[in-house]
Structure 1
């Protein structure tokens, strides 16, 4: 690898690339910036949930869905394992990361009256990158790694306007913890130097969510939802170097989508979603950050009540990839997402009020080969997700 290649390109990748990895607290690297499904039940259908709510974490996808689930509480955890190999310059220069990240979710909901519900959905995302060694042999460079964890609480109210129409509104209250180490940047004279690590920094943010459900018949449901941009406070220490392009903030972009669900027979539900994720106006989509493109996902899912105690699920999700060939170098330290996945899941009911659910999801391998300014940088990722949850009706 030439000196010029090794310095300027790799340094640019590390400087902007860690930003990508840091944003990964909202980028769990399955479908775009998050796990395919918030809640183990939705995950079993590859995230298909806008018109088919199944538990009290659903306000993450459609606040109005809380109006259909009754009084219940849920807690679950999904274990994400992203496997990433990043090659830069030559096949002999390869970094590998394969850490395991727990992502919790859950919530509670109360049916106050036939028209009104009050509840809260809790969902968290957490991921990072750890290559186990410095990305470049620069004196003073630390181990290349980063971590971002985000927890969002969504207190939610729904109101049934008519027999067939429900609206829902949520606040989005977010808390972030972030750290980065091993970042290397070029200086004015063309040499390389490591940035200091500022340790763990935290931030708070807020936004809102709105949703709508229409059920003209018992067999058909239409849903629509919108989540505003969550504006985060500055991450102390990082606003002057690593996150300067974003004003020291890692905002979470807006998301919106529509979905339908149909029951051809009482025991079978078929559902489909279109879901849009925005990275524009945040550091994750900026040229000085790492240039991710907005994404659109199409999801299909099925839920089959096999017997009184068992429900089986399956789903498929596909979207465009956010990382283009020209910005691969900028994502050297990011946890590159996959864009297509399949999932299977099941629920076992213990009596009338308790249930246990599980999911397995596989994210198909994706490879992006650099072009232009990223020529010589190649990244490959695949993911696996295991999850389990407990639900209780009251």
Structure 2
């Protein structure tokens, strides 16, 4: 990518209404509106051109098309502190910012019977909190407290048809992310941070990086299709303005993820599909390191959010109600990324959601065009702290809570 093209892309992404997500940890539960209508099920299906974000091998089954969509994301997040020796007890509402809008776009093109290519632009992760009533005020912090992490991905993919029933795909992903933190002055000093002055209230900083995706889809019987996908860890630039907050001097790489899925055509109208996905949060030190004082914030082994790796299980159905109308529904369940012992720092990032329930539909406007809708309820989840606030910070417990409403609409044009 030339420097001029890269600059243009970064400026374009920076101007989009990037938002912050928190569904399966801080990964989005579905890469496109159609996938969201099935709680994210996608690995063995060919929903749309944005689907290459989860399995690039699916492009060969799509033909040529354009896709564009917009998702309304409305999270409700809060924290409660009790038993604090420093007078932090109380309820803290983290919803001063939001709701948010998330864009998506893509295209796919069939070059030949065996080769297809495409590009997908999508949001895949992030986190946002904004507490007008600062939970850390009694430590010496001031103003509103919170963080804003947003990530936008662009994946260019190729798919090759090995045989009548099997295809493979490969993609190159560019990620642009930005981050800001405010209201953390209590930790912006030599006692707590390896880089005082680079902890809080420094505005937005950005970082970018590159990774790869690999995928396979195979029709193993006349009615059963399987899919496998892997996304590499993406090593990004550091957030230099926050080198005193994140471990490894501001490091915040994108975790590796992988999964396997199936799609079973029960009969001409009904399809049952499911995915298993693994997200390896613990290998990113700024995310996976536990809250401890063995090293200061920002150091190579500095404190992080203590997140665990998670498995995500998704199950969905598709019903072809008529030639014009297709209905979808799905549920998903994930492990809890935040241990009860790690809730205190996660007041800033309460990504505790474990369960989603989704519905969706597509309406064929013409032979070329269709419009799709989805609604997801991320069910309310609570994590109660257990020995979560260190004695040096007054002890007590921090309890986290979150729920979400997610509504999407998308347009598709086939040619």
Query: Same fold per TM (> 0.5)?
Result: yes
Q: d(CA) in 1 for partners of 2:388 and 2:351?
A: 18
1:316 equivalent in structure 2: 331
Q: Compute the displacement of 1:92 (Å).
A: 5.5
Tell me how many residue pairs correspond in the alignment. 366
**Contact persistence 1:207–1:227 (CA under 8 A):** yes
- Structure with greater strand share of residues: 1
1:242 equivalent in structure 2: 245
**Contact persistence 2:127–2:349 (CA under 8 A):** no
**Structure 1 spans left out of the alignment, 5+ residues:** 1-24
1:113 equivalent in structure 2: 112
Q: Compute the displacement of 1:168 (Å).
A: 0.2
Give the 3-state SS of the residue equivalent to 2:345 in structure 1: helix
For residues 316-365 of structure 1, what are the alpha-carbon distances to aligned partners after superposition, in whole Å with 9 as ceiling and x for unaligned?
A: 00111101110011211114230111100001110111111111101111
Q: d(CA) in 2 for partners of 1:358 and 1:116?
A: 30
2:277 equivalent in structure 1: 275
RMSD: 2.0
Q: Compute the displacement of 1:32 (Å).
A: 2.5
2:8 equivalent in structure 1: none
1:142 equivalent in structure 2: 143
**Structure 2 spans left out of the alignment, 5+ residues:** 1-17, 291-302, 390-395
**Contact persistence 1:101–1:127 (CA under 8 A):** no
Check 1:291–1:137 CA distance in 2 against 1; reply closer, same or farther (3 A cut).
Answer: closer
Deviates more, 1:132-141 or 1:173-182: 132-141
1:72 equivalent in structure 2: 65
Check 1:284–1:27 CA distance in 2 against 1; reply closer, same or farther (3 A cut).
Answer: farther
Question: Which of these residues, 30, 33, 53, is aligned with residue 23 of structure 2?
Answer: 30
1:16 equivalent in structure 2: none
1:253 equivalent in structure 2: 255
1:172 equivalent in structure 2: 173
If the length of structure 1 is used for normalisation, what is the TM-score? 0.88
- Report 1 or 2 for greater relative contact order, CA contacts < 8 Å, sequence distance ≥ 6: 1
2:11 equivalent in structure 1: none
**Contact persistence 2:178–2:207 (CA under 8 A):** yes
Check 1:234–1:92 CA distance in 2 against 1; reply closer, same or farther (3 A cut).
Answer: closer
Q: d(CA) in 1 for partners of 2:329 and 2:400?
A: 29
**Contact persistence 1:26–1:33 (CA under 8 A):** no
Q: d(CA) in 1 for partners of 2:257 and 2:19?
A: 12
Check 1:182–1:158 CA distance in 2 against 1; reply closer, same or farther (3 A cut).
Answer: same
Q: Compute the displacement of 1:142 (Å).
A: 2.6
Q: d(CA) in 2 for partners of 1:183 and 1:79?
A: 29
If the length of structure 2 is used for normalisation, what is the TM-score? 0.84
Give the 3-state SS of the residue equivalent to 2:155 in structure 1: strand
For residues 291-327 of structure 1, what are the alpha-carbon distances to aligned partners after superposition, in whole Å with 9 as ceiling and x for unaligned?
A: 1000001110001110111010000001111011100
2:158 equivalent in structure 1: 157
Give every structure 1 segment of 4 or more consecutive aligned residues whose post-TM-superposition deviation is greater than 6 Å: none
Q: d(CA) in 2 for partners of 1:43 and 1:177?
A: 24
Q: Compute the displacement of 1:373 (Å).
A: 3.5
Q: d(CA) in 1 for partners of 2:117 and 2:132?
A: 46
Give the 3-state SS of the residue equivalent to 1:265 in structure 2: coil
